[in-house]
Amino acid sequence: MSSTTGQEHPIGIYLKIWLLLFVLSACSYMVDFYGAQGYLRWSLILIFMFLKAGFIVAIFMHLSWERLALKYVLLVPPIAILVLISLMSIEGEYTNLTRHVFFER
Amino acid sequence: MTEDISKSSNFTDPGMPGMVGDWASDKQAFDMPWGKLMMWIFLLSDTFIFSVFLTAYMNVRISATDAWPNSSEVFALTIGGVTLPLLLIAIMTFVLITSSGTMAMAVNFAYRGDRRTTALLMAATALLGASFVGMQAFEWTNLIVHEGVRPWGNPLGAAQFGSIFFMVTGFHGLHVSIGVIYLAIVSFKVARGDYEKKGYAIVEITGLYWHFVDLVWVFIFAFFYLW
């Protein structure tokens, strides 16, 4: 079709993102190495995870240069997964509770 | 009339009006080769598969009454008397990120028409992927032979750990293995000049798949190894 020239960007941006992903991975490794615990650990893990995932999708997979039509196709459906996660965490807590009640009678 | 339609959406208008234009015109809705769109749709479906696996893992871990094995200790390596937590997993992570970097560069060189560099970078990506699978095989062997982890139980804690671990990392390892084969084939065909007429969108499509494999590892690393 018309403008299927593909994605062309300066090579420097890939090297920068590459380096950034290295640093972020090192940071998330440090979370475990220094043994951060509790909410600090979980929030740091999630922050580094979402930053890494975001850079991979936006830059390496070029999503930030794609048309809005594609962005919505890819980013809206996963909202259903958030619903599943919340339902399953409630379910898991319930199963855990029933097991404790049943096995520790 | 035909001119009006082609004018109403030529994939140039930005933002929401642009998206409405893309969809409203009686023509192709996405500005890309069909193969690339199909790869994106496949990756969306794969996102759901891995999300369901990781959600199942969350559910099983919450509901387990025994203590969950401490992944920091389970996956520790002792080198020269020093025990380092998650060392192998960290190396695997860096290898996969490096392979993503070489893949991104391969896509770049492909669109510049540099066949030789593209094929070399893709071959490097495939090699890094293969070494990732190798390290995973080492990790599995270690867990099965030395730690005694089985899908139905293990001496470290909750019995559900083994089944969910082997399923999630196994499915990811399968994706990496298929990706290595895919990369090797496309790299060979690029080197041979098969895409000189068709164009090099295939390299970007292969790249999408490979970056997705790296993306899934980011989530597995966070939820399975660090949590």
Specify whether B150 is located in the same domain as B106. yes
For residue B111, list chain A residues with Cβ-Cβ distance below 8 A. 5-8
Residue type (1 letter), B104: A
For residue A42, list chain B residues with Cβ-Cβ distance below 8 A. 227
Query: How many Å lie between the alpha carbon of A79 and the closest alpha carbon of chain B?
Result: 11
Residue B110 in contact with residue B200, Cβ under 8 Å? yes
Specify whether B14 is located in the same domain as B79. no
Q: What is the CATH number of the domain that holds B141?
A: 1.20.120.80
Q: Residue B9 above 80 pLDDT?
A: no
**pLDDT tens figures, A56-75:** 999 999 999 999 999 999 99
Specify whether B26 is located in the same domain as B121. no
Strands B82-84 and B77-79: antiparallel
Specify whether B77 is located in the same domain as B165. yes
Specify whether B14 is located in the same domain as B82. no
Specify whether B41 is located in the same domain as B7. no
Specify whether B111 is located in the same domain as B149. yes
Q: Residue A23 above 70 pLDDT?
A: yes
Q: Residue A37 above 90 pLDDT?
A: no
Helices (H), A1-105: 11-33, 38-55, 68-75, 79-103
CA–CA distance, B104 with A20 (Å, rounded to integer)? 14
Q: Residue B76 above 90 pLDDT?
A: no
Candidates A40, A88, A99, partner chain B, best to mutate (most B CBs within 10 A) = A88
Residue B92 in contact with residue B135, Cβ under 8 Å? yes
Give the mean model confidence (pLDDT) for residues B41-57.
97
Strand segments (E) across chain B: 77-79, 82-84
Q: Please state the domain count of chain B.
A: 2
A25 touches chain B (CB under 8 A): yes
State the pTM of this model: 0.91
A37 touches chain B (CB under 8 A): no
> What are A40-48's contacts with CB under 8 Å, separation 24+?
A41/B226, A42/B227, A45/B222, A45/B226, A45/B227, A46/B222, A48/A24, A48/B222
ipTM: 0.91
Q: What is the pLDDT of residue B220?
A: 95
B107 touches chain A (CB under 8 A): yes
Residue from B58, B15, B199 nearest A3 by CA: B199
Specify whether B72 is located in the same domain as B18. no
Specify whether B109 is located in the same domain as B13. no
Specify whether B21 is located in the same domain as B57. no
Specify whether B14 is located in the same domain as B83. no
Domain ranges, residue B149: 32-226
Specify whether B42 is located in the same domain as B93. yes
Asked if B111's CB is within 8 angstroms of A6's CB, the reply is yes
Report the SS3 class of residue B68. Answer: coil
